[in-house]
Amino acid sequence: MVILQYHHVSEDTPRVTSVTPLEFRQQMAYLSDNGFTVIPLSEVVDGLKADKAFADKTVAITFDDGYQNIADNAHPILKEYGFPYTIFIAVEPIEQQYRDVMNWMTLKQLAADGVELANHSWGHEHLIRRLDGETESDWLTRIETNLLATEAQIVAKTGQSLKMLAYPYGEYNAAIEALLSKLGFVGFGQQSGAAGHYSSLTALPRFPVAGAYADLSSLKVKLYSLNMPVLALSPANTELALGDWRPEMKVKLDMSDIYPHQLMCFIQGQGAAKPLWVSEDEFVVRAGLDLPPGRSRYNCTAPSKQSGRYYWFSQAWVRPKNDGTWVKE
- Residue of 238, 190, 157, 195 lying closest to 53 (CA atoms): 195
Q: What is the DSSP letter of 19?
A: E
pLDDT in tens, 86-138: 999 999 999 999 999 999 999 999 999 999 999 999 999 999 999 999 999 99
pTM, two decimal places: 0.97
Confidence at residue 308, expressed as pLDDT on a 0 to 100 scale: 85
Phi, psi of 87 (to 5 degrees): -115, 125
Residue among 257, 249, 207, 256 nearest 232 (CA): 249
Q: Is the peptide bond before 235 cis (omega within 30 degrees of 0)?
A: yes
What residue type is assigned to position 286 of the chain? R
CATH class of 230-319: mainly beta
Q: How far apart are CA 307 and CA 305, in angstroms?
A: 6
Alpha-carbon span 193 to 301, nearest angstrom? 9
H-helix segments, 113-256: 136-158, 174-183, 216-223
CB atoms within 10 A of CB 22: 11
CATH of region 2-224, choose from 3.40.50.1110, 3.20.20.370, 3.40.120.10, 1.10.3720.10: 3.20.20.370
Identical fold at 2-224 and 230-319? no
Alpha carbons 278 and 282: distance in angstroms, whole number:
6
Q: How far apart are the C-alpha atoms of 209 and 191, rounded to whole Å?
A: 12
Question: Taking a C-beta distance cutoff of 8 angstroms, is the pair 257, 275 a contact?
Answer: no
d(CA 56, CA 180): 29
Which runs of consecutive H residues, i.e. helices, occur in the chain?
Answer: 21-33, 41-49, 68-69, 75-81, 91-95, 104-112, 136-158, 174-183, 216-223
Say which amino acid occupies 244: D
Largest CA distance in the chain: 57
Give the closest residue to 312 by CA, choosing from 301, 323, 322: 301
pLDDT value at residue 329: 86
Regions of the chain with pLDDT less than 70:
none
Helix and strand numbers, DSSP H then E, in the chain: 9, 19
- For residue 279, the SS3 value is strand
Q: Is the dihedral of CA 327, 62, 193, 200 positive or negative?
A: positive
Under 8 Å between Cβ of 222 and 312: yes
In the chain, which ranges are E strands?
Answer: 2-6, 8-9, 18-19, 37-38, 58-64, 86-89, 116-119, 164-166, 186-188, 207-208, 226-227, 230-234, 248-253, 264-267, 271-273, 276-279, 282-286, 294-303, 310-319
Is residue 163 within 8 Å of 186, Cβ to Cβ? yes
For residues 137, 140, 142 and 145, what is the CA-based torsion angle, rounded to 10 degrees?
Answer: -120
| DSSP secondary structure code for residue 193 in this structure | B
Q: Where are the domains of the chain?
A: 2-224, 230-319
